[in-house]
Chains A and B, each alone.
Chain A
Amino acid sequence: MSTDLDPRRPYRLSPTVSLRPEPFGALVYDFATRRLSFLKTPTLTQIVRDLDQYPDVDTAMAAAGVPAGEHDQYLKALDRLLAAGTIHPLPPDEGPP
């Protein structure tokens, strides 16, 4: 799988992005690009919201209870969110607790 996302590194929600939880997942709004998009599952919403609480993406996905069979699918979704600027790599000096 070709991806720019490194599942062994920490990421976070972009500071210009807000999430609004919805039954289907969440609305995503980037105040900087004025773009509205959607997270289509509550699990993806949880991963994205809490991303900066974990040392890496794999741990964040495990904490949200992503089944092994759906691991790659979620990784692809996160990769798209990285490309869209919704999530960013967490700078080294702002590491998770």
Chain B
Amino acid sequence: MKLVDHFQHGLDAPICLTWELTYACNLACTHCLSSSGRRDPRELSTEECKRVIDELQRMQVFYVNIGGGEPTVRSDFWELLEYAIDHQVGVKFSTNGVRISQERARQLAAMDYVDIQVSLDGATPEVNDAVRGPGSFDTAWRAMENLAEAGFTGFKISVVMTRHNVDQLDQFKRIADHFDAQLRITRLRPSGRGADVWDELHPTQEQQRQLYEWLLGNGENVLTGDSFFHLNALGSAPLPGLNLCGAGRVVCLIDPIGDVYACPFAIHDEFLAGNVRGPGGFTEVWRTSALFEQLRQPQTGGACTSCSAYDSCRGGCMAAKFFTGLPLDGPDPECVKGNAEQALELAGAGAAPKPDKDHSRRTAPRRRSAVPVSIGWGPPDDRIPDRACDTSPLAGFSLPEPRRT
């Protein structure tokens, strides 16, 4: 049996899992997979998180991808990071950079077993901030500068590919080289708030080819989280990586309230396997949940079986199909053979499921632009007020020195 076949049948423990620590976030990216913004009051406590880490250590899950939300806004984030590392669970965490100060960067550079992914969705502030919000490019850039100055080499710059940044691939590569970092590009998914912007942001067919060609030329030094295997149908040369959907087989997601989903792109009851707060913990969910058992069974290609490219693309991404209203055993919405158009038409408008978990802030995030304010007290010194009402009613008058007796 080939290695990939073993993976299809599932392992006793995930190879790597994503763990979103909080739904709280200082940003409100338009394509957020987890519809993050507000913290959920049911989020796992520090102690509960540590019990999960203990389990991961016992299961020999060598590393976790920690995300959110913005994980570093949890006040116990640094404590949990150290706890994981002390228990042989390496951590790669994703951040928008908001808390990566010079001091934190130096601290992180001195730690083993930690890797960092800074999210950047445009090689220029215009392209980035249109998706991630005003000021977010500068925040990420400052974080990357701090990491590079602290000597943290090889951190990842994580880019979600959209219609507006496919043309910037070479620029992203130069930015990564500039910081002695590694470029990681992943696929936009119609998950969470991504469903709202999917139609305008997902790369065109032409751009998909451009992306595929670029990956064939540069792929060895660029990470993809194995997320572009649906593009393999474009040619005979497979992209580097395992090229398989690992959902519930070798990967999964633990969300901030302890719910376990088949993959990070599938936060919906349809893909909910259980909760780590249950009596058997995460281990039991991973090993015995009905959903995961089912995903580990041989899958049928459905409408795709007769397609010549099925062996290379495997029908694409389960979450992308689900959230665009397509049947799971049909073509991916970005099928490079053009089979999705008809399927989408068949499914009809309104077939896409409503996202059933949403932690978006109800209003636009408050802009905290710093305005220096000081409250004066007493008469201004040697200064003529420019308005009669300025500061003290005695403004402008010099009191005579009290006579000393």
Contact = CB atoms under 8 A, between A and B. Distances in A.
Given A18-B62, A18-B88, A34-B63, A24 B13 contact: no
B83 to A, nearest CB: 16
Contact of B90 (A24, A34, A38, A40): A34
Contacts of A81: none
Interface in A9-68: 18, 20, 22-24, 27, 29, 31-32, 34, 36, 38, 40
Interface string B5-25: 010000111011000000000
Contact of A24 (B3, B63, B88, B92): B3
B3 A36 contact: no
B115 A34 contact: yes
Nearest to A32: B112
B66 to A, nearest CB: 14
13 contacts: A18-B62, A18-B88, A20-B13, A20-B62, A22-B12, A23-B6, A27-B60, A29-B90, A31-B90, A34-B90, A34-B115, A36-B15, A38-B3
Nearest to A29: B62
B1 interface: yes
B310 interface: no
**Interchain residue pairs A-B with the least CB separation, the first 6:** A29-B62, A20-B60, A24-B6, A31-B113, A34-B115, A31-B90
Interface of A: 18, 20, 22-24, 27, 29, 31-32, 34, 36, 38, 40
Contacts of B3: 24, 38, 40
A32 B60 CA distance: 16
Interface of B: 1, 3, 6, 11-13, 15-16, 60, 62-63, 88, 90, 92, 112-113, 115
Contacts of A20: 13, 60, 62
A77 to B, nearest CB: 14
A18 B6 contact: no
Nearest to A24: B6
Contact of B6 (A22, A31, A32): A22
Given A20-B62, A22-B6, A29-B62, 4 more contacts: A24-B6, A34-B63, A36-B16, A38-B3
A36 B62 contact: yes
A40 to B, nearest CB: 6
B112 A31 contact: yes
Contacts of B1: 24
Contact of B15 (A18, A24, A27, A31): A27
Contacts of B62: 18, 20, 27, 29, 31, 36
Contacts of B115: 34
Contacts of B11: 22
A29 B61 CA distance: 10
A20 B6 CA distance: 14
A42 to B, nearest CB: 12
A34 B179 CA distance: 19
Contacts of A22: 6, 11-12
Contacts of A34: 63, 90, 92, 113, 115
Contacts of B12: 22
Nearest to B13: A20
B89 to A, nearest CB: 10
A40 B5 CA distance: 12
